[in-house]
Each structure stands twice: as C-alpha cells, then as structure tokens.
Structure 1
Amino acid sequence: MTTTQIAPRSTAVAARASELSKVYGMGETQVVALDKVSVDFGQGEFTAIMGPSGSGKSTLMHCVAGLDSFSSGSVRIGDTELSTLKDKQLTKLRRDKIGFIFQAFNLLPTLTALENITLPMDIAGRKPDQQWLDQVISMIGLADRLGHRPTELSGGQQQRVAVARALAARPEIIFGDEPTGNLDSRSGAEVLGFLRNSVREMGQTVVMVTHDATAASYANRVIFLADGRIVDEILNPTADAVFDRMKAFDAKGRTS
C-alpha cells in the first residue's frame, strides 16, 4: 500500500507520525483504523483534522497525543519517540509537553477558574510563569471571572478557561478534540479565535479534530482522512472550500 506524506509549512516539527497504523481485532473482525499514516505538524501551525465518521481522525489525534497506543509505526513529540516510553514517562510527557482541550470542558467544579487554569502545573509542582499566565488570561478575556467556579460561568467561558489551562504551561503542542462541539456558534467562534491568536501571537502549535467546516477555516491547513488514510489537504482554508471537499467525500462514499 502507498503511504501518504503530508509535510508541514515550517521547518521545525512539533509532532510527527511515520507509517502509523492502528488495528483493532483479528481475523474477520479486524478493523484498520489507521493505515500507514505519515504526517508532520509544524511548530507554530494550526492544523485541523477532518473526515467522515470512522475515517480515523480521532484515532490519529489520540495516538499522536499519547492517549492511545498504536499497532506499528512511529510517533514523535519533538525529539521524543513515544513507543520507547514507559507509562510513567508517557504520563510525564503528556503533562509537561502537551495541552489538551476536549468537547467536555473537564473543569473541576470545586475549583475557581484560576485554580483550574493552573491545576496541571500545581500537580507537577511547578510555579507558572506569571508574565505568560497574565498574557494568556488577558487573551481569553476572563480577568474579571477568575474567582468564579465553573457553575457560575457560561459554556463559552468554561471552554475559554479550558483553553487557558492548555496554554498556561506553555506546552509544545495543544490537541483539541471537537473543542467547540458543545458551544453555540458565537461562543465557538470566540474559542477558535483564541486558539488562532495563540498560534499567531504566541507561536503555539495546535492540532484540532473537528467535523465543522467553519471551525476548520480558522486553521492554517486542513488534512482529510478517509478509511484510515490521509487523502487530501487544504492550505489557508475557507469554510466554503472545506465544506465542498467534505461534500465530495460524502458523494464518493454514497457511490462506492
């Protein structure tokens, strides 16, 4: 089988998957979720991953982020090869070098917004860089809500807290799994704007799985998966271009 290689726009690579495969089951029940995928995520780049249901987009993100194991191939975060790490080392790498934003905000209800933002660093026994933390809080526009608990915040505000939590430790890369899936269009646009600004103004690297063409248009590029393989890419995407590409995939799926 041929391998699709998608290269980043920048020279430095934040994360790299090489010949990455993920297989579930055996024999007649075997499912190939990822089929020898090779892709680079460049530093300071915002990449959206899209594809039909069952295409492997979430599996790719979870394997590259160290949240799921893979059957064969290689994943690197910076210079670190994930397959060589033991569980404790992998946990430390996720804590120190990776930020996560999920569709469910995953905030602790007993903590204030500020305590939720600094929680990963508190667990790691590290003090935040106050200047950086102030910059992050200023960017997400929640300086006057830091003492509030999640139940006192709107959904959009809670997700902004989750974005700030992911940014606060200055991770090498942030992964978002449908980060605006539970938000209305206005709140979703605000969160996506913050992510895009973190790339433009802070040099952050963001990789986001989404099914939403409008959300994908905030990225620098969109890669498309189908049947566990990368099949296409759009640079500097517009919502219309992404939507048209997804419609083409849907039409092909109905005729195949």
Structure 2
Amino acid sequence: MTGGERGVTAAAAAARGVVKAYGSGETRVVALDRVDVDIMRGAFTAIMGPSGSGKSTLMHCLAGLDSVSEGRIWVGEQEITGLKDKKLTRLRRDRIGFIFQAFNLLPTLNAIENITLPMDIAGRKPDQQWTDRVIQTVGLAGRLKHRPNQLSGGQQQRVAVARALAARPEIIFGDEPTGNLDSRAGAEVLGFLRRSVDELGQTIVMVTHDPVAASYADRVLYLADGRLVDEMHRPTAEAVLDRMKHFDTLGRVS
C-alpha cells in the first residue's frame, strides 16, 4: 500500500487497523480496537479520553515506544511496524521528540547541556541558529547556565520542550506535559508548544485530560474503550468539556 493509497502523504504519522491487546484468553484486555488515524504535519493534535481509554497506548504505538498486536503504523512515509529494535531506536532518536510529565533532566547538567544532550549522544552538531531560535521561543535565554535544581518546575519543563525542539524532529509527542505544573506554568508551556507549531512549523501530538490544555490544539481526537469515537477542530475549553460529558454515550454507540 502506497502513501497515496493510504491518503496520508501529508501525515506526520498514521495508524491503520491498529489493535493493541495484553494477555490472552479470558485475561485478554484490548487497549486499542482497530484504530485508524492520521496525524497532520505542522499541526497540534490533542488526544483525550477517560482513564483506560487507550490514549497513552495510542501515542506510544505511534511513537514506536510500544508494538502493535495487529495493524500498521507509519512515521512519515516509513512503516515502523516490524522494524527491528536497532532501526526503531535510531528512528526515534533521529525523527521523534518526546516531552513527558516528568521533566527527565540530568541534574548534573545545566539547561543548555540538557537541551543539546540528545544530539551530543547521537554525535550530531547542533544547528546554533535553530537552537538559539528555540531558546528564544521558549523564553530560556537568561537561564541557560542554571542546573535543574536552580529552576522552577515550569522552567524545567521549558528546558524539556527546548530539548525536544532543538533536534528538529519530524514530530513531537507529549504525554501530559503540563501534568506536574500549576496552571500558570502549564499555560506558559502550552503557549510555547503552540508557538512552536505556528512559528517553527513543528508537529505536536499531546495526550491530556485537561480541556484547557486541549484548547491549545488545532484538533482533538477522542478515544473511548480503545476506539476513536470523535474529533473536534478549533476546540475551545468549554466545547471540549461539553464533549467529554458524552464519552459514555459515545463509547456505547460507536
């Protein structure tokens, strides 16, 4: 099947017929149930759903962090289902960025060293002009020599965002990236993610349970019982909250 036949030539990532199941027999649990989805390039996509709906599982499968039981996953035009571990590791390192709820900064390194660490490990020389632009975008210019313990939680997450952006990945995945932050710091980080899409052309996929966080996205995908049951474009926090009230109904009728 070609990219044209899949209709995902503009997609940064795609899933077709994806099933993810754990266990077997009576103990078998289906986390994803035949999911089809395209993640558009240069857009901010939020994935929402109740606890246990499969939203983090979908993100992990799209990012090559978890394997699928059935179906196919693409990153750009490259199918990643069936890739050997070494090739998958290289693909994640070279083409994908990650931002997690835990900041995952090395305490012995200062901010700029944490930002360039993935490229240092990969033996790639950072693009100084791009790195400077990223640092300006996330507002870290005055904090580059500070170590994590000298930074607030919001500043640490800004470093994590800059680290993901600096390597110029094709797509960035965020798993509740503002989950450990207060509302003000969370709004700052979400603003930086929004700006990275609008000003730097980044592609972002974020799992969140927060309607306010989802309102920063261009598109919200809703999962229930492992299935994609709805989507919303140009969301507002109020509209997202209203839609979430109908998850049980959506799960039953889909």
Which residue among 199, 219, 223 is the counterpart of 1:221?
Answer: 219
Contact 1:52 1:250 in 2 (8 A): no
TM-score for both structures, normalised by structure 1: 0.93
Once the two structures are superposed, residues 86-108 of structure 1 have per-residue CA deviations (whole angstroms, 9 ceiling, x without a partner) of 11111100000000000000000
Runs of 4+ in 1 over 6 A off after TM superposition: 251-254
Deviation at 1:83, TM superposition (A): 1.7
Counterparts in 2 of 1:42 and 1:157: CA distance versus 1, 3 Å = same
In the comparison of the two structures, how many residue pairs are matched?
246
SS in 2 for 1:21: strand
For 1:25, the aligned partner's letter is G
User: TM-score, normalization: structure 2?
Assistant: 0.94
Deviations 1:132-155 (A, max 9, x none): 000000011111100000000000
- 2:66 is aligned with 1:72: no
* Amino acid paired to 2:127: D
Q: Distance in 1 between matches of 2:74 and 2:248?
A: 32
1:105 alignment partner in structure 2: 103
Larger displacement relative to structure 2 (91-100 or 241-250): 241-250
2:225–2:251 contact (8 Å) kept in structure 1: no
Indicate which of 10, 33, 37 corresponds to 2:31.
33
What SS is found at the alignment partner of 1:199?
A: helix
Match of residue 210 from structure 1: 208
In structure 2, how many angstroms separate the alpha carbons of the residues matched to 1:204 and 1:42? Answer: 11
Whole-angstrom distance in 1 between the partners of 2:105 and 2:87: 24
Identify the residue that residue 112 of structure 2 maps to in structure 1: 114
Q: Distance in 1 between matches of 2:170 and 2:162?
A: 14
8 Å Cα contact 2:229-2:251 kept in structure 1 = no
Aligned-residue offset at 1:111:
0.4
2:45 to 35, 44, 47: 47
In structure 1, distance between residues paired with 2:37 and 2:219: 12
Quick one: percent identity of the two aligned structures? Answer: 75
Query: Which of the numbers 14, 20, 23 marks the counterpart of 1:22?
Result: 20
One-letter amino acid matched to 1:240: E
Q: CA deviation at 1:79?
A: 1.5
How far, CA to CA, are the matches of 2:174 and 2:161 in structure 1? Answer: 9
Does residue 90 of the first structure (1) align with residue 101 of the second (2)? no
The answer on whether the counterparts of 1:20 and 1:73 sit within 8 Å (CA) in structure 2 is yes
CA–CA distance in structure 1, aligned partners of residues 246 and 15 of structure 2: 26
* 1:104-135 deviation per Cα after TM superposition (whole angstroms, max 9, x unaligned): 00000000000000000000000011110000
How far the C-alpha of 1:252 sits from its partner, in A, is: 6.8
Distance verdict in 2 for CA 1:152–1:250, change over 3 Å? farther
Letter in structure 1 aligned against 2:225: D
Q: Distance in 2 between matches of 1:83 and 1:181?
A: 30
**1:84 deviation in Å?**
3.2
Once the two structures are superposed, the pairs formed by residues 94-173 of structure 1 within 5 Å of their partners are 94-173=92-171
Following the alignment from structure 2 to structure 1, what is the Cα–Cα distance between the partners of residues 94 and 186? Answer: 27
Write the distance in 1 (CA, Å) between the matches of 2:214 and 2:25: 36
Amino acid at match of 1:105: F
Aligned-residue CA RMSD (Å): 1.4
Q: Secondary structure at the match of 2:246?
A: helix
Ranges in structure 2 where 5+ consecutive residues have no aligned partner: 1-6
Structure 1 distance, partners of 2:105, 2:88, is: 22
Distance in 1 separating the partners of 2:210 and 2:248: 14
